[in-house]
A and B are shown apart, each in its own frame.
Chain A
């Protein structure tokens, strides 16, 4: 009975207006397996999972659960049928304690008028203990993002589910938490639970999963035992073409040979950055790696005036600068790309052209303080072409673009400042593989044109593939510098977790 089928979806179709999110997708889940679901952004993974969880209704197709044809009209119905869903976006109540968040659905569905808070705390503690050391009485809003993710997972564990859906659960987790999560997944699997695991990371899929299903552009591509395939095959299947040349060529020779563009000495902020020295040379792409919370974003934000610098010295092209705020830094040529594109990078409900001009409105302003809308359009057109932006009209709202093209709009905005140094925080997060390669190539072009490039990234293959040199941060300090052959995942992780390099 080990391999009997728990859930089978056949020929599932779903359209939103003219967009076909799913074009006849199949999915088979067996008892006691960890089943990876892979696909680029927009491939239809999330829609498929929402259908299983009853959030979205399919246009056609069949869902068979334990041999019975079923239809889930709401998440509550799916929950009753034993399906638990850990969403990628955190959906918790920040002003409520960890315990009450974990037991939210229990409190919701249990009869009775009064809530037994003692029991709520016990259940919550039992669920979260296995994952991390988090006090169940703290408010969720006071936790870090990765701890919130842990709470989200613990919440699903309290439901006695036979199917658990984990949508990119490791994206926000630290290594230790990730290991703990996998240990639990294997234990649940041994108890007969079936787990659907959505991930971009091939290493995770090949180390921990039994089957892998690949979707591409809303279509079913393949479903195969992990033992019978290779990471390369899976990547090719999800991209739909041979990805041979993902990263642009690196700088030949010593990356520090060029003149220094930016130099920081003993830079500190109000607690997250604790004395950092760095130099950025002309022509190189400098990577900033480290765990979440190591202070990478805070460091670049401090350099460009978005956070207050409490100590240290910053030199741009040999002259000391003291930006009062970000507007000031922009004028001296330092620009910053936020890691949270939709929340902080673009104005989703404003036209593309107006997004591009936001950083330097003075460049499209007439002497009378009026906007020169033709200049605004021309500017957007020029930078759009430079970045190979794919858009219908520059008057369309940014929300109409794909993730990759939205990111290009955010980068075009930076270009209007004629930047001396671009600091890019997770520049390819949430961007599909094709656009990712394009953005990497563009960054290399900018570096060759003499713009200083600092890339903050949590994705190690990106750091290693793209950057000429990488600084690793741990607890607000630089814990090491790597370049050339030394730039390996092992070395970066060792430095990031505060270990000294051996050998």
Chain B
């Protein structure tokens, strides 16, 4: 039961803390894989390849931020891929009927937030489980997307250049998407560690009853996390729309699995109370790095999903062993 910590000086315990942190382990793995790849493939360390890897996960990474916060509170959202597609369809359709693209995008994000509001009603007021509610909305949001688009991709080549800049432009040679991603991740990570409202997320996830008995308005915190997750999925949808100049109705199918896998590899548990934005981002960076590496090594693409699943299993197993030994 009791945890005998090594009390031999603060310095060693600080080091121990660092080593035990998931983020540290992930950085080490990412660096090791990068070093290996730089020898294994002459293309790995090229600017083009690194930029491609960054681009591949930065938009999805915004969804990972929302999912991580929701996982910390003890929830889960399977509908993010569908909500993202719905946002693109709504924003695209409104643009095509003549609305300003920025206003259309805001309304698209608003639609995503509304999905979050409705889901939070079913979770906190009706009392259904996140998994069931978001499974239903995985279908509902995708269905709405198909209705709005009539099943065919909306082509949005007429989007004005300043709007396309969000998804396609660069500042000082760095894709704007990547900058946006780092800003969002940086702010989210800081707030999650330091802001009072996000501390409540950890309390509720750690022990919902104890949170209630500490005067924390548990339902509000849960609803906030659900709505935030949907809204960030909407934001990612708008960025994708700008990047691709299109709104395909089947976009983002199966994305929730990749996003949840990244957050869990990064240290979030399915029982709440654990996880960090930095860890989750390192998780999705690792997954993208692995995909890219497999391509460079000419591993047939069919292997990818299996290998990613294996990484998830290994990460969670190690975590489980470390934690049960600690207890």
Chain A: residues with CB nearer than 8 A to chain B? 16-19, 306, 325-327, 329-330, 336, 338, 340, 343-350, 354, 358-359, 361-362, 365, 369-371, 373, 392-393, 396-397, 399-402, 413
Q: Using Cβ atoms and an 8 Å threshold, which residues of chain B touch A370?
A: 194-196
Residue B2 at the chain A interface, CB threshold 8 Å: yes
Some 9 contacts from A to B, beta carbons below 8 A apart, are: A306-B213, A325-B215, A330-B215, A347-B206, A348-B207, A354-B199, A392-B5, A399-B327, A400-B3
**Complex Cα spacing A340 to B196, Å:** 26
B2 touches A19 (CB 8 A): yes
Chain B: residues with CB nearer than 8 A to chain A? 1-5, 7, 13, 194-197, 199-200, 202-203, 206-207, 209-217, 273-274, 327
Q: Using Cβ atoms and an 8 Å threshold, which residues of chain A touch B2?
A: 19, 400-402
Contact partner of A327 among B7, B206, B215, CB < 8 A? B215
Q: Using Cβ atoms and an 8 Å threshold, which residues of chain A touch B273?
A: 347, 349-350
Q: Using Cβ atoms and an 8 Å threshold, which residues of chain B touch A325?
A: 215, 217
Which 7 residue pairs spanning A and B have beta carbons closest together? A400-B3, A327-B215, A344-B209, A358-B214, A347-B206, A330-B215, A365-B196
A326 touches B203 (CB 8 A): no
**Complex Cα spacing A347 to B208, Å:** 9
**Complex Cα spacing A89 to B206, Å:** 22
B210 touches A371 (CB 8 A): no
Q: Using Cβ atoms and an 8 Å threshold, which residues of chain B touch A340?
A: 209
Contact partner of B216 among A306, A327, A329, A392, CB < 8 A? A327
Q: Using Cβ atoms and an 8 Å threshold, which residues of chain A touch B196?
A: 361-362, 365, 369-371
Q: Using Cβ atoms and an 8 Å threshold, which residues of chain B touch A326?
A: 212-213, 215
Please, which residue of chain A has its CB at the minimum distance from the CB of B325?
A17
Q: Using Cβ atoms and an 8 Å threshold, which residues of chain B touch A413?
A: 214
Please, which residue of chain B has its CB at the minimum distance from the CB of A399?
B3
**Complex Cα spacing A276 to B214, Å:** 25
Q: Using Cβ atoms and an 8 Å threshold, which residues of chain B touch A400?
A: 2-3, 5
**Complex Cα spacing A19 to B5, Å:** 12
A350 touches B213 (CB 8 A): no
**Complex Cα spacing A346 to B203, Å:** 10
**Complex Cα spacing A455 to B110, Å:** 50
**Complex Cα spacing A413 to B200, Å:** 15
- Min CB distance B231 to A, Å, is 19
B194 touches A361 (CB 8 A): no
- Min CB distance B159 to A, Å, is 36
Please, which residue of chain B has its CB at the minimum distance from the CB of A425?
B213
B3 touches A344 (CB 8 A): no
A347 touches B210 (CB 8 A): yes
Given contacts A18-B4, A371-B195, A399-B3, contact A347 B213 (CB under 8 A): no
**Complex Cα spacing A264 to B272, Å:** 39
- Min CB distance A84 to B, Å, is 26
- Min CB distance B74 to A, Å, is 12
A371 touches B194 (CB 8 A): yes
Q: Using Cβ atoms and an 8 Å threshold, which residues of chain B touch A345?
A: 210, 213
**Complex Cα spacing A396 to B10, Å:** 13
B7 touches A392 (CB 8 A): yes
Please, which residue of chain A has its CB at the minimum distance from the CB of B196?
A365
Q: Using Cβ atoms and an 8 Å threshold, which residues of chain B touch A336?
A: 213
B217 touches A327 (CB 8 A): yes
- Min CB distance A316 to B, Å, is 16
Q: Using Cβ atoms and an 8 Å threshold, which residues of chain B touch A349?
A: 206, 273-274
- Min CB distance B274 to A, Å, is 8
- Min CB distance B191 to A, Å, is 8
Given contacts A359-B215, A400-B5, contact A350 B197 (CB under 8 A): no
B5 touches A396 (CB 8 A): yes
**Complex Cα spacing A350 to B205, Å:** 11
B207 touches A347 (CB 8 A): yes
**Complex Cα spacing A330 to B206, Å:** 21
**Complex Cα spacing A306 to B274, Å:** 27
A344 touches B217 (CB 8 A): no
Q: A358-B216, A361-B196, A400-B3 are in contact. List 8 more A-B contacts (CB 8 A).
A: A343-B207, A345-B213, A347-B273, A350-B202, A358-B210, A361-B200, A369-B196, A371-B194
Given contacts A338-B213, A361-B200, A370-B195, contact A346 B7 (CB under 8 A): no
**Complex Cα spacing A105 to B200, Å:** 43
